[in-house]
Structure 1
Amino acid sequence: IFKNTYPGDFNFKDPSYSQDYNWNMSGGNDKGSYYTSLGYNYSQGLPVSSYYKRYSITANGDYKIKPWLTSFSNFNFTRANWQSMPPSQTSEANYFSRILTVPPTVRYVNEHDGSYRLGNNYSDGNQAYQPDKFFRLNQTDKFTMNQTLKIDFAKNINLKLSGNWYYSEGFYEAFNKDFRENPTKINTTRNSSGEFGRTIDQTYNAIFNYDTQINDHYLSVMLGSEYYDTYSYGIYAAGSGAPTDDFRDLGLTSSEENKRSIDSYHTKQRILSFFGRTNYNWQEKYLLSLVLRHDGYSRLVNNRWGTFPGISAGWVFSKESFMREFDDIISFGKLRTSYGLNGNVSGIGAYELQGSYVASTKYNGLATFVLGSVPNPDLRWEKTRTFEVGLDLSYLNNRYSTNFTFYDRLTSDKFATLSLPCSSGISGIRTNNGEFRNRGVEIELSAIPIQNSNWYWNIGANISYNKNTVVSLPYNGLPLNRQGGFQVYSGKDETDLIWVGGYQEGKEPGVLYAFKAEGIYKDESEIPDDMIVKRHSFQGATTRPSYGKNNWANMSEQEKINSGGFPIQPGDVKWKDVNGDNIIDDFDLVKVGNTTPHWFGGFNTTVTWKKLSLYCAFDYAFDFWVMDYRLPWILGNMQGTYNMTTDVRKTWTPENPKAKYPAYVWADQLGKGNYRNSTLFSYRGDYLSLRQVSLSYSLPRELINKAFIEKLDLSITGQNLGYITAAKTVATPERGGIQDATYTLPRTVIFGLNITF
């Protein structure tokens, strides 16, 4: 009667294919050289109708105009067209979950003629049904040009004058024809929009270099200045109600009120910088470097300029005479340390600091404006002070090496948007928000165990540890100058509460809290006599309370009706009662763990035998947690028209009392909330990823020289090949935190051919 349908067959291109072609040519003589390349890339996306296409041209050249004057020129052009998702979609979360959970009995094909059917509706149904109804054009053209003149005043004195120009424009057009919204309704709004944007960046710099060596002393000096200017402008217009599908012109949309909209923008910013660096060494044993920058940023009002110094020193102790007897063991040894200050102004909006106005509702038929953001002329540069100390060692003629680094980074005046009271009419304001510290260690290892005429084997590995801590926050009168957060029971007694989450001095941000699931009630004998699970808000709804045996039995029928609650039953989650008051409420959340890895790194190896080479790369992270947001949404049947995953077989039933998950019911967010955010769906994010495996072979020259080919390499590469992780239900463990359905990293196989003439 029914024929199973797998929606992925209609909504995904699996496998999806990519093509990448590059042609380049180079040459030169004693006066100059050139390099040109042409590139073409076409990549299919996993969602049906998604793609990315790119054309690129690159031309570089240098020419010695005079013995003392050399010109360096670079030009690059790239055109890109793309569609990231089917036009009927507004979010990756819906596409990679809801669209796959339609009932398997859905019919996407008319059996009598093979034509496609829509299914449930245009957003959750068959995305291959009517792609011609949605016109989309996304295109960017980007030009990058660089011209540098190097003037050699003497062998050790030169001046570089450079100009960099970046021009980018984007055009985006969309038009919806009449399309079927669901099996019984046609959408005739004919929405249309067009957008054009242009950005022009200019960077000019002058850099003076001088170096000299007197006996065992070496000195180099660099002085420079840079001017950066960027200007962006664009226009956007939209309308609806066009009379026909045949024309997508915005001018043909309806002129009725609220049918059209238009907007434009103009933004500009400038940075002026002065900088210098001095390097000194004696016998290449004792090293010293001094740097200084002075930057001014146009969007900052009263604190426009920032000064950022730095110093580093090193001691190559392997060059000392007392190390001569260890030369066979220690090939190179260096102690190093550095201290410096860096500035950051990225992310400041065009109108954040001087304030802005936005359009509001009409008054007496006239346009009105209201305050959109309040000015903050006193915003300062965000500054990061970094201290490092390290040890670099190489052994056995540099075949083995180890590098150790300890760092301490203190970011002060950190940018943050602070929420304002609703009465202000403004949601928030960008401000400098205290000090944050990142402290950690980095260790790098490399080895060449085998190296001879036929075999070469190289191994590399690194591991890093980092911890982030809030050092100080602006005074606000609250304990630890807390910003945001919520209260939970400490567990010391029934009433003791502590603040967690948000930002607090001395605490680590990004800690995940959730209800702790201590199991599933298997049968009536496990249900407590006295227990109340209070209402809890999640998934945009509020659950109903649940009551233990005695609590429920002691309630009158009217009290039961008024409470809107249920008795605790087999198949419900056994929640941890942190303070032991026999009440489960929002204060019973427990600390799960940090959402950012403390430990991370990778390792790789290359094995070469004659012309054949194998490369493998792994990366890993551990000591962090992720929470799956989408699986409980599905198992909780929170939008009840969708199908289940096979995990529903692991839910509680009388025949499966030792189930992993609670009972499967309709709309859990309106019921007992067994599928709320909890440790039941929290996993250690620790993972080991096989990130890349590549096998390449260079054909012998005697086979290819007859075809006037100098070199021919064949390769096959696999990327994102798999994980070892406990977080198997999330899209990708690298992202950490609470994860919804999203675009996963694609498993990719690349075939390569590289020919050199």
Structure 2
Amino acid sequence: MRKLIVLSLSLLLGGSMTAAAQQVLKGTVKDSLTKQPVPGATVKVVGSNKGATTNAAGEFELNVPANAQLQISSMGFENVIVKAALISTGPVLLKIQAVDLSSAVVVGYGTQKRATVTNAISTVSSSSLTPEKNIVSDAAKALQGRVAGVYVASTGGTPGATPNIQIRGAQSVSAAGTNPLIVIDGLIVEGNTVNLNTINPQDIESMEVLKDAASAAIYGARGSGGVIIITTKKGKTNSKPAFSLNAYTGVNNVPTSRRMLNTEEYTSAFNDARNNRLADIDKRLKDPTTPANEITQLNNEINNLKSQIAGLNMANRSTDWIDRIKNKNAPINNIQASMSGGSEKSSYYMSLGRYAEEMVWGSGNYERYTAKLDITQTVNNWLKLNGGLSINQSVLKNLSNPIATAFQARPDTPDEPVRNADGSLGYYIGMQQHPLGVMQDNKNRNKVFSYIGRLTADISFTKDLQFRSSFNASKYNSLSRDFYSPLTYLGTSSKGSTKTSGQDNFNFTFDNYFTYTKRVNKLGINAVAGYTYYSTELNAIGYDLNGYPVVDGITGAGAGSAYGSVGAIANYNIYNKELSDAFFARTGFDWEGKYLLNASLRRDGSSKLLADNRYSWFPSISGGWDIAKENFLYGNKLISQLKLRSSYGMSGNIRPLGYWDAQNLLLATSYNGLSALQINSIIGNPNIRWERTRQVDAGIDATMFGNRLTIVLDYYNKTTDGLMSSNQVSWVYGAASTPDNIGNIRNKGVDLEMGLSSKAGRKFSWKVSTNMNINKNEIISLKDSLTNYGTFVFGGPQSKAKVGQSVGSVLVYESQGVDPQTGDMIYTDRNKDGLWNTNDMITVPIAMPKFTGGTTLTFGYKGFTLDALFTYVVGNKVYDYYEQTLRSYDRDFYGAMPNMFDVVTKRWRKPGDVTDVPRAITGKHGAGQTADWNYRPSTQFIYNASYFRLRNVNLSYAVPATLISKAKINSARIYVAAQNLFTITKYIGFDPEAASNSGVVSTNVPNPQSAVIGIDVSF
């Protein structure tokens, strides 16, 4: 891909040059090996924009000065510069480009030549982060489908939402412990601080993904989830000022939707539910064993049901309230301008960006502004300084969750009008509310301001010994305010209210380390040793105020007297601080570039832990053998690289642990008017320690067939012990739980990355890159007291951790389908006691996929380039809480039977019907005679969420240099791009990707479908 971009850019270079003498030069370009013509090669006059392109016979013609020099380049070949006078002596021969093993790979606290890397490290370059390749506002989403072993799951289509990232599976039962460590230009990013949403993807130069423990161990206690190192763009010395502008505009839409029942279908379901209940009551009344008090209750229920049927007078209209909250063709816009350059001793890079989009669900919008400045100055022959500052400000205005709002409006039956006769929106009593009215009158505004700053000094003591001192700091400030109108349910009882919350987070990293590089004959040495200090500080505040009038937006509390006095009803104030430090060292040896050995050691400490467990050691070792450099393979034309490597390392995790969880805290309170102390709801555990992840990795890197085929294959086995979570304790202690190290998890699997490209020098070029990860996640031990622990989703399944199964499991009843005779669900009575309770529930793993991957296809012809990225996830499931909540035929606390998805049109209707959708019924029913029998948490709501998705597709055209050179434009590219064009899946819901960490789909906002047109110009 990089070669194709170089070719496309070079085709754009042209223009006029002035000289005293001009001549028409004719020449031919050929392959040095095959002596065949090289069509499409770029011939450029050095120091000028003037150039030409070879034809199918490899020939070119160009008007040049007599003393000119020509640079000739073509994808897959090495560049060559020749004097114009030599062109007439014979064809110019281009050599096949060798694999660039001398390029540097960013690793922890330094760089390393790719040829000597013995760890599992993948790189995503800036070319994959351009809008032409990815229509994303978040750099994390740009990783989707591009790196083997990296699973990026979008949490929904809300702008600014941070996706979940897992590298080689989940190594913790805590959601906070599964994400990788993010390092941006040396700054550690985690917790309530700067995230990838605050970084403009177009300001990123590269992202290195450290997947094995040997590469991540240098980050010690924070590296167990893997590490993503982000290097932002910098200027280059000895370069003229270069300007670039990239802008696009387009629209977002909802790719798929679920249909709700229309009026006729709703009426049928409503009446069926009550008639079926009346039939059940009739059987019960005819049963001579029915108690007298129950007969009285049943007779009262009969009268109520008959009045409901008689009172159902549906109007001749059908309103789909889910459809009504869609914002079709929601605008999306992005613009990025940058400037870079440098002199002999200094360089600079600066950029400004704006990204904006409207939500496709609801009426919200998201807007982000970014600015970046980076300056490097060589002071003298031993000191170089670098400073950088990145600023971000974003504002999200929307209803907190538009999908939830539509469901809260579910008593708005399909016969309800969108507007009243006078054009106004309807409002209803109590919780019955108009979804569009809620979105119009309730307001939400979340504003974020953040920055990342860096000051670095590089000191060269000798040619081999350098010292770096780097201070990195970040600030993250957010303020969220929700306004609930008194015309809507959430604001009725409070006569209008606001909920305000804010946080201010400051963290910094102070790194000081030496780097030593030396080659003694055949032995190469690379060593790093240093000390790092890290601090993170959080202040958070929140309060609620009542008594607000109806306002258009969010204002102060000054006019609240219309509905009563304004007063605070709840508030909180939080302060947390963590300090950590570490000593680290890494050394690497290579012999002739064939035999490789690397080792690292880090001693990490954190203020979260008490003295006895505060510090821990994290070692690693790795080795490699490049067989292609052995004499028996050296110089062969088939294999360019064949490196075997293996590693072992240990890394840690402390993120699941609260700031004060290791300590016993007492809260100030009062009792009978006297001051007192109260035990906290969580008992501190002074013995808790780090989570530790040990990982073994074995891999192979191969490049063959003239560098056209690349293969990277890894096998890994990593085990995490000391999982951090809450352990339930007896209430006699005055608290519900205590943090503890509860068990072990194992992830083992295979990563595969492959690339294959066409032969160089062809008019039509192509490249295929594919990657795949197969991972098995398993909980291998838990404390006995945690056999049945978990947290409930309100009304839904219980999250569950169980030995022998994966993280992200749920506790549900096992459904055996619908009884063809009764129409009710059949559940397995596992203990055969005739009762259906929690003793009959089973644990079902749903969240962890069996394998994931992606494939990128690139085709080039003349100035056109077509790229397509396909991603797939196989083997995961989702629990559809949407479906469960809309299966009740009872009048719920909203005051009416909810509308439902159209799947209930396939429901059981008469004895003998074979279907997987139970009958419509209200009241007690089924074998368990409970009101929720047919829609209790069970396997009937678990769906296969495997999918194959066209993630990105784009078509670009490089404008010929002859058309733009007079305008002093170096290059111009026009592109059209689309995202999420289609998805192949068996899942019947909105989006198989938009699920929570636990695999439960609640009111998650589906991902949008995007289409844009843009231009990329450089001057």
TM-score by length of 1: 0.83
The equivalent residue for 1:756 is 1018
CA distance in 1 between counterparts of 2:979 and 2:1010 reads: 5
Q: Please give the root-mean-square deviation of Cα atoms over the aligned residues, in Å.
A: 3.3
Question: Which whole-Å deviations, capped at 9, do the CAs of 1:667-701 have from their partners, x for residues lacking one?
Answer: 67843612333343333332222211122221111
The equivalent residue for 1:172 is 480
State the 1:310 CA deviation: 0.6
Task: Give the gaps of 5 or more residues in structure 1.
Answer: 487-499, 524-568
Counterpart of 2:320 in structure 1: which amino acid? Y
CA distance in 2 between counterparts of 1:521 and 1:174 reads: 47
CA distance in 1 between counterparts of 2:450 and 2:843 reads: 48
CA distance in 1 between counterparts of 2:597 and 2:507 reads: 35
SS at match of 1:274: strand
The equivalent residue for 1:747 is 1009
Are 1:702 and 2:1008 matched, yes or no?
no
Which of 224, 232, 237 does residue 538 from structure 2 map onto? Answer: 232
User: Comparing both structures, which one devotes a greater share of its residues to strand?
Assistant: 1
Query: Do the aligned residues in 1 keep the contact of 2:800 with 2:811 (CA within 8 Å)?
Result: no
SS at match of 1:108: coil
SS at match of 2:529: strand
Question: Which whole-Å deviations, capped at 9, do the CAs of 1:459-487 have from their partners, x for residues lacking one?
Answer: 1112222122333444x5x8xx845499x
CA distance in 2 between counterparts of 1:588 and 1:266 reads: 44
Are 1:223 and 2:524 matched, yes or no?
no
SS at match of 1:17: strand
Q: Kindly tell me: are residues 668 and 706 of structure 1, through their superposed partners in 2, closer, same or farther at Cα, counting changes over 3 Å?
A: farther
Counterpart of 1:612 in structure 2: which amino acid? F
User: Identity rate of aligned residues, in percent?
Assistant: 25
CA distance in 1 between counterparts of 2:670 and 2:323 reads: 47
The equivalent residue for 2:917 is 661
The equivalent residue for 1:526 is none
Counterpart of 2:660 in structure 1: which amino acid? Y
Decide which moves more: 308-317 or 731-740: 731-740
State the 1:75 CA deviation: 0.6
The equivalent residue for 1:629 is 881
Are 1:688 and 2:688 matched, yes or no?
no
TM-score by length of 2: 0.62
Q: Kindly tell me: are residues 405 and 124 of structure 1, through their superposed partners in 2, closer, same or farther at Cα, counting changes over 3 Å?
A: farther
Counterpart of 2:1008 in structure 1: which amino acid? P
Query: Do the aligned residues in 2 keep the contact of 1:308 with 1:341 (CA within 8 Å)?
Result: yes
Are 1:522 and 2:784 matched, yes or no?
no
State the 1:238 CA deviation: 3.0
CA distance in 2 between counterparts of 1:365 and 1:177 reads: 40
Query: Do the aligned residues in 1 keep the contact of 2:485 with 2:492 (CA within 8 Å)?
Result: no
Decide which moves more: 367-376 or 269-278: 367-376
SS at match of 2:339: strand
State the 1:177 CA deviation: 5.1
Are 1:7 and 2:349 matched, yes or no?
no
Q: Kindly tell me: are residues 42 and 257 of structure 1, through their superposed partners in 2, closer, same or farther at Cα, counting changes over 3 Å?
A: closer
1:101-116 aligned within 5 A: 102-112=412-422, 114-116=423-425
Are 1:725 and 2:985 matched, yes or no?
yes
Are 1:157 and 2:471 matched, yes or no?
no
Query: Do the aligned residues in 1 keep the contact of 2:504 with 2:539 (CA within 8 Å)?
Result: yes
CA distance in 2 between counterparts of 1:750 and 1:244 reads: 38
Q: Kindly tell me: are residues 520 and 482 of structure 1, through their superposed partners in 2, closer, same or farther at Cα, counting changes over 3 Å?
A: closer
Higher normalized contact order (CA 8 Å, seq sep 6+, divided by chain length): 2
SS at match of 1:66: coil
State the 1:575 CA deviation: 4.2
Q: Kindly tell me: are residues 388 and 509 of structure 1, through their superposed partners in 2, closer, same or farther at Cα, counting changes over 3 Å?
A: same
Q: Kindly tell me: are residues 675 and 174 of structure 1, through their superposed partners in 2, closer, same or farther at Cα, counting changes over 3 Å?
A: closer
Q: Kindly tell me: are residues 667 and 207 of structure 1, through their superposed partners in 2, closer, same or farther at Cα, counting changes over 3 Å?
A: farther
Counterpart of 2:1002 in structure 1: which amino acid? D
State the 1:651 CA deviation: 0.5
CA distance in 1 between counterparts of 2:992 and 2:810 reads: 18
Which of 665, 670, 684 does residue 356 from structure 1 map onto? Answer: 665
CA distance in 2 between counterparts of 1:250 and 1:237 reads: 16
Counterpart of 2:888 in structure 1: which amino acid? G
State the 1:579 CA deviation: 6.9
Decide which moves more: 575-584 or 260-269: 575-584
SS at match of 1:641: coil
The equivalent residue for 1:64 is 378
The equivalent residue for 1:392 is 701
State the 1:662 CA deviation: 1.4
SS at match of 1:648: helix
How many residue pairs get matched? 685
SS at match of 1:293: strand
Q: Kindly tell me: are residues 661 and 242 of structure 1, through their superposed partners in 2, closer, same or farther at Cα, counting changes over 3 Å?
A: closer
CA distance in 2 between counterparts of 1:227 and 1:334 reads: 36
Question: Which whole-Å deviations, capped at 9, do the CAs of 1:44-71 have from their partners, x for residues lacking one?
Answer: 1233232211111111111111122111
Query: Do the aligned residues in 1 keep the contact of 2:800 with 2:810 (CA within 8 Å)?
Result: no
CA distance in 2 between counterparts of 1:576 and 1:243 reads: 54
User: Comparing both structures, which one devotes a greater share of its residues to helix?
Assistant: 2
Are 1:83 and 2:368 matched, yes or no?
no
Q: Kindly tell me: are residues 582 and 730 of structure 1, through their superposed partners in 2, closer, same or farther at Cα, counting changes over 3 Å?
A: farther
Q: Kindly tell me: are residues 54 and 733 of structure 1, through their superposed partners in 2, closer, same or farther at Cα, counting changes over 3 Å?
A: closer
Are 1:307 and 2:617 matched, yes or no?
yes
State the 1:134 CA deviation: 4.0
State the 1:208 CA deviation: 0.9
Query: Do the aligned residues in 1 keep the contact of 2:338 with 2:352 (CA within 8 Å)?
Result: yes
Query: Do the aligned residues in 2 keep the contact of 1:22 with 1:39 (CA within 8 Å)?
Result: yes
SS at match of 1:127: helix
Which of 117, 129, 141 does residue 426 from structure 2 map onto? Answer: 117
State the 1:280 CA deviation: 0.5
Are 1:597 and 2:857 matched, yes or no?
no
CA distance in 1 between counterparts of 2:851 and 2:642 reads: 26
Query: Do the aligned residues in 2 keep the contact of 1:239 with 1:250 (CA within 8 Å)?
Result: no
CA distance in 1 between counterparts of 2:1001 and 2:983 reads: 17
Task: Give the gaps of 5 or more residues in structure 2.
Answer: 1-314, 792-797
Query: Do the aligned residues in 2 keep the contact of 1:180 with 1:187 (CA within 8 Å)?
Result: no
The equivalent residue for 1:490 is none
The equivalent residue for 1:677 is 937
Decide which moves more: 210-219 or 746-755: 746-755
SS at match of 2:341: strand
Counterpart of 2:869 in structure 1: which amino acid? A
1:43-62 aligned within 5 A: 43-62=357-376
CA distance in 2 between counterparts of 1:485 and 1:345 reads: 20
CA distance in 1 between counterparts of 2:439 and 2:589 reads: 68
Query: Do the aligned residues in 1 keep the contact of 2:405 with 2:438 (CA within 8 Å)?
Result: no
Are 1:646 and 2:875 matched, yes or no?
no
